[in-house]
Amino acid sequence: MSEHQHHIKLPEGSIEKQTTTLNLGPTHPATHGVFQNILELDGERIVSSEQTVGYIHRAFEKLAERRPLYQITPITDRLNYCSSPLNNMGWHITCEKLLNIQTPKRVDYLRVIIMELARIADHLICNSIVGVDAGAFTGFVYVMEYRELIYEIYEEVCGSRLTTNIGRIGGFERNFSNTAFEKLEKFLREYPKVLKEFENLFTRNRIFMDRLVGTGAISAERALNYGFTGPNLRAAGVDYDVRVHAPYSSYQDFDFIVPVGNTGDNYDRFLVRNEEMWQSLSIIEQAYRKVQEFKGADAEVFHANVPEYYLPEKKEVYTKMEALIWHFKIIMGETAIPKGEVYNAVEGANGELGFYLISDGGRTPYRLHFRRPCFIYYQAYGELTKGAMLSDAIITMSSLNLIAGELDA
Amino acid sequence: MSLTNDRIKQRLIEKFGEPVSGFEELYGLLSFEAPKEMNLKILQFLFDDDELKFRFLTDLCAVNYPDDKGRELAVVYHLHNLVDNIRLRFKVFTNVQEPDVFTASKLFSSANWMERETYDFFGVNFIGHPNLKRILNVDEMDYFPLRKEYPLEDQTRIDKDDAMFGRGGTIV
């Protein structure tokens, strides 16, 4: 017996250690992304934790320094890939601000439609994953079908689904087809019913509430200090929304409510996201009505007149000299960007998505920095989960809507 | 009356005088700079002042200007006053030999990781930071990749010369 014991060499002090170390991630099904949490556990309670990020860092900011503006759009796709169109639009709007481009109203409204669809797609994933992590898979299956429908609308507009690269500086690559509008109408008709059903499943569900109410809570003051934005900040009771505070893309033309919570816990985050989906639906309806008001030639407007930056239609490239020249200059990245320094933010699905763009007059940005909301608020995870049960920490992680792509840039 | 850029400028000059300089208004956003030793004093003043109330740190990052001797690195703070809904940009410059800047992480918890990121990519040494180590890159890395001295592409490729990107280079 004693012979055997001599073969096991335990590290110094490990017998006396009262806590267990658990590696949650980097690849763990419950983290829904590639990041690591090293948790110190006392039984099932978290004593302390350390976050490690950067597993899928792809040097976006460095890459952007050698790319003309239009080639940076696909990079932005890969930030928060659950709502790529929001990132794309944010980037286009930043460029337009630097270049002083005014977009036509119709373009703004079409963009609003796409952005709000992306917000719904993002929130429905986030909220249904919260359900999955609490043990309720059904809701996820209900809403997934409608994310598919949203993706079909993107596909109709830009040809791709997940990493959309949608739109261009100045507007869209093509006008919305009738099929796109039909699919949008179908979505507007059917989704409210499903969302209602989804809410019926969860909102007052005893088990679900027991798991979410009071877990992962943060006060408004701490949330602000931690740089929270978006639904996570609003759940803590601060009504900060970029769409209202600094309207872009004609958001001032729409009526909507900014839902706020008050406890900043997982349940409030869930409720805020659900309500935001209803608000987004209403915004899309308003925008669609406004789009329908454009008749005749006005209904054909889908981009601003900025030949220096807007890729001309292929048909024109083959038949018109000017279009060919612009096409060549844009593709070769030969258009100089005016000197300037601009910070522009949009309301991303999980917070304020900012672009800090510095141009020195070259053909590519001198420096581009992305303000990635979830990189900033993930710092609070340690504080949010301290003293919590391991299973609650999992829900907290999914209800914060962490997206590894955005975290690591 | 809500806060205006002119009023912020006036308050800063009243309080700090000469050292606060380089006021600019680009696209409506007030921007200024100060000596790096003063960064915390200014951030604290902007935070505490009852009129200014810049209590939200939106963004913190760095920019490298290798040709600007003695001011090679800029640390850029974007602050937001959520009550009056006004933003500002504040920069401090440091030389690259001694890139020491005081940490803002005591004032803003959000600065913790943003400063680690800035250290990771630019090597800005944030004095007093509780855990200043690399965050996105591997710990073994021995350079600061976003500095301009580390070019992106293979240097033997002439089609990727700076001249192709409109700023000097070797091709004439």
Nearest to A53 among B82, B135, B160 (CB): B135
Instruction: Give tens-digit pLDDT for A236-278.
Output: 999 999 999 999 999 999 999 999 999 999 999 999 999 999 9
B16 part of a folded domain: yes
User: Which one of B33, B87, B113 makes the best mutation probe of the A interface by having the most chain A beta carbons within 10 Å?
Assistant: B113
CA gap A18, A63 in Å, rounded: 46
- When pLDDT is cut at 50, 70 and 90, the band that residue B88 belongs to is very high
Are A360 and B146 a contacting pair at CB < 8 A?
no
- When pLDDT is cut at 50, 70 and 90, the band that residue B159 belongs to is low
Is the model's pLDDT at A131 over the cut of 70?
yes
CA gap A162, A181 in Å, rounded: 20
Give chain B's radius of gyration (CA, Å): 18
Total of domains in chain B:
1
- Amino acid, res. B69: K
Question: Is the CATH number of domain A60-408 2.60.40.1120?
Answer: no
- Answer whether A93's CB lies under 8 Å from A346's CB: yes
User: Which one of A93, A341, A342 makes the best mutation probe of the B interface by having the most chain B beta carbons within 10 Å?
Assistant: A341
A369 touches B at CB < 8 Å: yes
Report, as an integer, the average pLDDT of A86-97. Answer: 95
Nearest to B26 among A238, A341, A378 (CB): A341
Are B85 and A246 a contacting pair at CB < 8 A?
yes
Instruction: Give tens-digit pLDDT for A164-183.
Output: 999 999 999 999 999 999 99
On chain B, the residues whose CB falls within 8 A of the CB of A63 are 152
- Answer whether A229's CB lies under 8 Å from A220's CB: no
- When pLDDT is cut at 50, 70 and 90, the band that residue A335 belongs to is confident
Q: How far is A235 from chain B (nearest CA, A)?
A: 16
On chain B, the residues whose CB falls within 8 A of the CB of A65 are 152
Are B109 and A246 a contacting pair at CB < 8 A?
no
CA gap A49, A62 in Å, rounded: 31
Quote the domain boundaries for residue B73: 5-165
Altogether, the residues listed in chain B come to a count of 172
Instruction: Give tens-digit pLDDT for A93-116.
Output: 999 999 999 999 999 999 999 999
B171 part of a folded domain: no
- When pLDDT is cut at 50, 70 and 90, the band that residue A28 belongs to is confident
Q: Tell me, what CATH number does B11's domain have?
A: 3.30.460.80
A66 touches B at CB < 8 Å: yes
B14-42 burial, b at 16+ Cβ within 10 Å, e below that, comes to eebeeebeeeeeeeebbbbbbebebbbeb
Q: CB-side exposure of A377: number of CA atoms within 13 Å?
A: 32
CA gap A409, A141 in Å, rounded: 29
Report, as an integer, the average pLDDT of A23-37. Answer: 83
Beta strands in A159-207 (DSSP E): none
In the three-class reduction of DSSP (H, G, I as helix; E, B as strand; rest coil), residue B51 is classed as coil
- CA nearest to B146 within chain A: A62
Q: Which residue has the tokens 């606060």?
A: B20
Q: Which residue has the higher pLDDT, B95 or A28?
A: B95
Q: Which residue has the tokens 């005014």?
A: A102
CA gap B70, A272 in Å, rounded: 49
B103 part of a folded domain: yes
Q: Which residue has the tokens 């999914």?
A: A398
Is the model's pLDDT at A53 over the cut of 60?
yes
- The interface pTM score, or ipTM, of the predicted complex is 0.89
- Amino acid, res. B146: L
Confidence at residue B33, expressed as pLDDT on a 0 to 100 scale: 94
On chain A, the residues whose CB falls within 8 A of the CB of B57 are 227
CA gap A168, A359 in Å, rounded: 19
Confidence at residue A31, expressed as pLDDT on a 0 to 100 scale: 78
Q: Which residue has the higher pLDDT, B103 or A334?
A: B103
- When pLDDT is cut at 50, 70 and 90, the band that residue A1 belongs to is very low
B61 part of a folded domain: yes
Cα-flanking dihedrals φ and ψ of residue A159, to 5°?
95, -10
**DSSP code of A389?**
B
Confidence at residue A14, expressed as pLDDT on a 0 to 100 scale: 67
B172 part of a folded domain: no
Is the model's pLDDT at A4 over the cut of 60?
no
- When pLDDT is cut at 50, 70 and 90, the band that residue A7 belongs to is low
Is the model's pLDDT at A15 over the cut of 90?
no
- When pLDDT is cut at 50, 70 and 90, the band that residue A5 belongs to is low
Report, as an integer, the average pLDDT of A64-90. Answer: 92
- To which H or E segment does residue A343 belong? strand A340-348
- When pLDDT is cut at 50, 70 and 90, the band that residue B170 belongs to is low
